[in-house]
């Protein structure tokens, strides 16, 4: 048995590295909630989750008031059992964002411990399919950027050997979105994937209209066109267009992904390890998607998702949005247009403890 003898949580604010806007919001700051679990063999696992500006203190309260007190004396090797017991203990607030984010902070700490004990990197312990994954960029595609800026960003990504770029859509008029995308496609040619992301901003009718307008531009996927709980709308949209529909960053349980996949409402799964409740359910979603012959292209958190995407056979892309450089000693490696999974034991994130301490809010 490897007993947990200490469990603690705290939160820091990490400033955004650049202005980030989409059709419905701006990325204000990253509230990052950390969990540290120490076991009687002397190891300490570090896990985390995040919000983009609100709710972090609620996640922290869930951890301190309800989850962490249940961990004393538990066997850190029994990750599935611990996750199940914590989920059951908070059933009144599941399935929901706050509980899933709190569970993720605990679960990633347990997986960090598992990998440290094995002296292996996460990508290998979680499955070990391949050590690197194609990379696409989102940082050059925010909605406030001009058409010229979008073109320049896409050309830079292409010159660097990256496989794709994602552009935000949802301008007031459809012609504005189309003009921006046409300009980027004309600049990069056919050799670069272009994804578009509406951030749940459209009605079902508008999403179908815009998808039809984009049909001839070789769009790799249309991301979050509708509110995340509108399964029927996604079903109708998916049947009306040849553009793959991508969903998942705003889903909070494997069961929700099951419903989308079973209805044919998702062609790309964008499961977010923090929002779905940790590595344990993330892997379940990835393997579920594989049974439907659907690829996984996770949302955000590239420093952690690079290892998980590399672990599974249907991992297709890692999204480039750097956000941890202020609190880490290094950053994700990129080689020949691919994100390279860390080989260090554990989650593979080299935390800068001094920088983290400087940003503690509670």
For the annotated catalytic residues, the residue numbers are 168, 299
Helices (H), 97-146: 97-118, 122-125
d(CA 76, CA 102): 17
CB 164 within 8 A of CB 197: no
Q: For residue 209, what are its two tokens?
A: 């209209």
The secondary structure element, H or E, covering residue 186 is: helix 174-188
Residue 76, helix vs strand vs coil: coil
d(CA 34, CA 22): 27
CB 334 within 8 A of CB 134: no
Question: In this structure, is the dihedral angle defined by the CA atoms of residues 227, 166, 122 and 132, taken in order, positive or negative?
Answer: positive
Burial pattern 307-338, b for ≥16 Cβ within 10 A else e, equals bbbbbbebbbbbbbbebbebbbeeebebeebb
Which residues on adjacent β-strands are paired with residue 360? 12
Which residues on adjacent β-strands are paired with residue 177? none
- Residue 61's contacts (CB-CB under 8 Å, 6 or more residues apart) are none
């Amino acid at each position: 048995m490897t007993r947990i003898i200490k469990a603690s949580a705290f939160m820091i604010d990490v400033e955004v590295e650049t202005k980030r806007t989409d059709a419905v919001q701006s990325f204000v700051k990253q509230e990052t909630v950390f969990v540290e679990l120490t076991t009687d063999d002397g190891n300490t696992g570090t896990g985390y989750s995040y919000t983009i500006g609100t709710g972090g203190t609620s996640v922290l309260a869930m951890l301190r008031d309800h989850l962490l007190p249940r961990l004393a004396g538990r066997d850190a090797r029994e990750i599935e059992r611990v996750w199940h017991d914590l989920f059951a203990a908070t059933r009144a607030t599941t399935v929901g964002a706050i509980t899933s984010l709190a569970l993720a902070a605990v679960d990633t700490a347990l997986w960090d411990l598992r990998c440290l004990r094995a002296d292996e990197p996460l990508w290998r312990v979680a499955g070990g399919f391949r050590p690197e994954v194609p990379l696409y960029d989102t940082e050059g595609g925010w909605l406030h950027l001009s058409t010229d800026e979008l073109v320049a960003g896409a050309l830079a990504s292409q010159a660097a050997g990256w496989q794709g770029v994602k552009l935000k859509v949802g301008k007031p008029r459809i012609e504005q979105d189309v003009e921006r995308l046409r300009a980027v496609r004309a600049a990069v040619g056919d050799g670069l994937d272009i994804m578009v992301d509406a951030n749940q901003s459209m009605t079902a009718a508008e999403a179908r209209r815009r998808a039809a307008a984009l049909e001839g531009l070789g769009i790799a996927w249309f991301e979050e066109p509708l509110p995340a709980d509108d399964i029927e709308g996604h079903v109708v949209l998916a049947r009306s267009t040849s553009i793959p529909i991508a969903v998942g960053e705003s889903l909070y349980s494997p069961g929700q992904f099951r419903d989308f996949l079973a209805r044919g409402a998702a062609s790309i799964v964008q499961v977010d390890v923090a929002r779905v409740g940790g590595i344990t359910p993330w892997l379940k979603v990835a393997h579920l998607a594989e049974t439907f012959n659907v690829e996984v292209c996770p949302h955000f958190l590239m420093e952690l998702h690079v290892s998980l995407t590399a672990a599974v056979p249907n991992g297709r892309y890692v999204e480039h949005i750097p956000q941890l450089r202020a609190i880490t000693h290094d950053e994700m490696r990129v080689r020949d247009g691919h994100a390279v999974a860390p080989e260090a034991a554990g989650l593979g994130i080299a935390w800068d403890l001094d920088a983290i301490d400087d940003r503690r809010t509670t």
